Every structure is written in structure tokens, then in C-alpha cells.
Amino acid sequence: MIGTVSRAAQVLQAADRFIILTHRRPDGDTTGSAGALCLALRKAGKTAYVARNAGVTKRYAGLIEPYAPPEGYQPQCVVSVDCADIDMIPPEMQQYAAQVDLVIDHHRSNPGFGRENLVMGQRAACAEIVCAVIEEMGIALDRDIAEGIYVGASTDTGCFKFSNTTSNTHLVAAKCLEAGVDGGEINRALFETKSRARYEIERMLFSSMEFYHEGKIAVALITLEARQRTGADWDDLDAIAGIPRQIEGVEVGLTLTELENGDTKVSVRTTKEVDASAICTQVGGGGHLRAAGATLHCGAEETIQRLLEATERVYRGEA
């Protein structure tokens, strides 16, 4: 941790006229954290807005767009939430990025690019940290504040399913439900609703899936034609690479996406038996132990061949 919750609360108490920054390709945690913090600051009698984020999708727009600043707004204090580095701040916010007064984040890799920094790498979601800061300021969670915090905590943990979920995540969720958040309705929208494009892509993924190495390797292909026909955007493809690995017995899921320029993007997801990064580094990519990726300058067929060979080498202990 750099900085303390109480120091962050002091910084916020001392200022007025806030602008809150979110990151590129905004997700539920950055938008939920920003919306919650904005509402809490307003509840404390301050002026606060959330900077417009050009990349916000329909799913999360409602959390920040109502708090867009008026033309010519001049903030006194710039706060970023969930931004791992200065580069993660989108170009349309550059006017504010020159000096970030307070960084609130949960990415361990955050260099502390603000004047003040509250970075807690052990938290699953930035929203958990925002919740602690709000409470430290003596501001009671109401339903609207809690909704942003809940969305942040639930989306960054796969609805409390992933291993990054801690007891603190659950304690924060408990407080949000106490404050009146309708978790069931939010989760249905976030986790149980598939766009038609997503459905079409999944249908294709399911029907195209092939198995190798006694069912331990599953290969799925998302063709460029299918993406164009369905109009699927990157939101629709979110977390789709996790699907092949869900099948019993599958240790390596290879999900290929044909790109517009003829390249093929591959996302590798593995169970604990196999090192995903060891597969991807062989073809010029990289990543983590169980999730890695690469982009190959060739078509799908050649990509499959090369990935299967790379995977077999890992199985043989040669890579």
C-alpha cells in the first residue's frame, strides 16, 4: 500500500470542485468507483463531476454520464480511480491528467503517478477502497452510492466467484445490500444477459469447438465473418476466452479471433496443470500462468497448428 485511507480522506475533505477520471475501455470497477465517489462528495456538500469517457459502453454509461461536467468546468482537485498508470487515462481527459492530485487504485503495479496515492494491491476491486474512503469521511452509504460500489466489486470478481474475492469484498457487498442495492436485478443485467450478438458468437463457438490431446486441449474460432455479421463489439466478446476451459477435462482452452488485417489473435486459458504463458511466449506473446495471449501474423489454420505444437511442447516439458 502507498498512502492510507485516512490520508486520502483528508485530501478529499480539504478540497472542493472535483473531477474524477476513469480508465480507457472503462469497466464496471472504474465507472462504479467514479460514480460512487462523485455522489459521496456531493453528499458532503462539495462540487464533483466525472470526466466524460468516450469509450464507455451502454452497460456502464448510467454510472457516470449523469455526472459529466458542464462546459468550461475548472476543477480544483483531480482524482483517478482504478487507473493503473497515467497511460490508462484516455486522451479526452488529457487536460486533467497533467496533475492528478489523488490516485485511488488496487493495481499492484501502479507506480503512484499522483501527488497523493492510495494504492491497495490486496483489494479485488478499486470500489472496495472507495468504500473505505467514503466511510472514513463519515459519509453514510445510500442506495445510489452503494450501487456504484456494488457494481465495481461484483464485476471485478465475477460476482464474487473468482479467487481474488476476499472477506473484505463480501463485507463491502453486505454494506451495499444493507443500503438498499437490488443485487439480484443488477446481477441479472450484468451477468445473466447476453446480447443477440454475444449469443450468436457463443453459438458459433460451441459448434466449432474441437478437441485434441485426449480432450485436454479445446480450440474455438471466432471468424471475422461472424464478428462482422453479428456486429459483435469487444464488449460482446468479453471473457469469451474462458468458455472452452469450462468444459470438464479441458486443461488448455485456445480461443482464436480473426482480425481485420489477416492476423489471428489467440487467448489461452489453462487450469492449474498447464502454464499458459509458456505456450504463448513460444509464438511471440506472453501473459500469466493461467491466462496468456498472442497475435500471430497468419491465418486461423496456421495459428491452430502452431499453438497445438507449442502446447504439446509444454506437455512434453520441452517449453
Please report, as a single letter, which amino acid is at residue 114.
G
Least spacing, CB of residue 164 vs its own copies, in Å: 7
Q: What gap in Å lies between CA 198 and CA 205, rounded to an integer?
A: 10
- Which lies closer to its own copies via its Cβ, residue 19 or residue 186? 186
Q: Cell match 479485488: residue?
A: 124
Applying CB under 8 A, the span of 72-80, 204-212, 294-302, 310-318 interacting with its own copies comes to 204-212
Total residues interacting with its own copies, rule: CB under 8 A: 41
* Grid cell digits, residue 13: 475533505
Binding mask 64-93 toward its own copies (x if CB under 8 A, else -) reads: ------------------------------
The whole-angstrom distance between residue 150's C-alpha and the CA centroid of its chain comes to: 14
Q: Which member of 4, 6, 99, 246 binds its own copies (CB under 8 A)?
A: 246
Q: What gap in Å lies between CA 188 and CA 169, rounded to an integer?
A: 19
Q: Which member of 87, 162, 234, 238 binds its own copies (CB under 8 A)?
A: 162
Q: Which member of 4, 6, 140, 178 binds its own copies (CB under 8 A)?
A: 178
Q: What gap in Å lies between CA 252 and CA 292, rounded to an integer?
A: 11
Q: Which member of 54, 68, 140, 174 binds its own copies (CB under 8 A)?
A: 174
> Does 143 sit near its own copies (CB under 8 A)?
no
CA distances to 142, 150, 273 from 187, rounded to whole Å, are 19, 10, 31
Closest CA to 102 of 81, 125, 74: 81
Applying CB under 8 A, the span of 42-50, 84-92, 162-170, 219-227 interacting with its own copies comes to 162-170
Do the beta carbons of residue 173 and residue 148 sit within 8 Å?
A: no
Q: Which member of 43, 160, 259, 295 binds its own copies (CB under 8 A)?
A: 160
DSSP conformation class of 141? P
The count of C-alpha atoms lying within 13 angstroms of the C-alpha of 284, restricted to the half-sphere facing its C-beta, is 9
Give bridge partners of residue 210 from the DSSP assignment: 219
Q: Cell match 499458459: residue?
A: 276
Question: Of how many residues is the chain composed?
Answer: 319
Q: What gap in Å lies between CA 244 and CA 222, rounded to an integer?
A: 12
Q: Which run of H or E residues covers position 104?
A: strand 102-105
Do the beta carbons of residue 186 and residue 204 sit within 8 Å?
A: no
Q: Which member of 161, 229, 288, 297 binds its own copies (CB under 8 A)?
A: 161
Least spacing, CB of residue 276 vs its own copies, in Å: 15
DSSP conformation class of 115? S
Least spacing, CB of residue 106 vs its own copies, in Å: 17
Q: Which member of 92, 182, 225, 318 binds its own copies (CB under 8 A)?
A: 182
Span 225-244, contacts to its own copies by CB under 8 A: 242
Do the beta carbons of residue 136 and residue 5 sit within 8 Å?
A: yes
Least spacing, CB of residue 195 vs its own copies, in Å: 5
> Does 167 sit near its own copies (CB under 8 A)?
yes
Least spacing, CB of residue 251 vs its own copies, in Å: 12
Q: Which member of 108, 115, 143, 196 binds its own copies (CB under 8 A)?
A: 196
> Does 281 sit near its own copies (CB under 8 A)?
no
Q: Rule CB under 8 A: which residues touch its own copies?
A: 159-168, 170-171, 173-175, 177-178, 182-185, 187, 191-196, 198-199, 202-203, 206-207, 209, 215, 242, 246-249
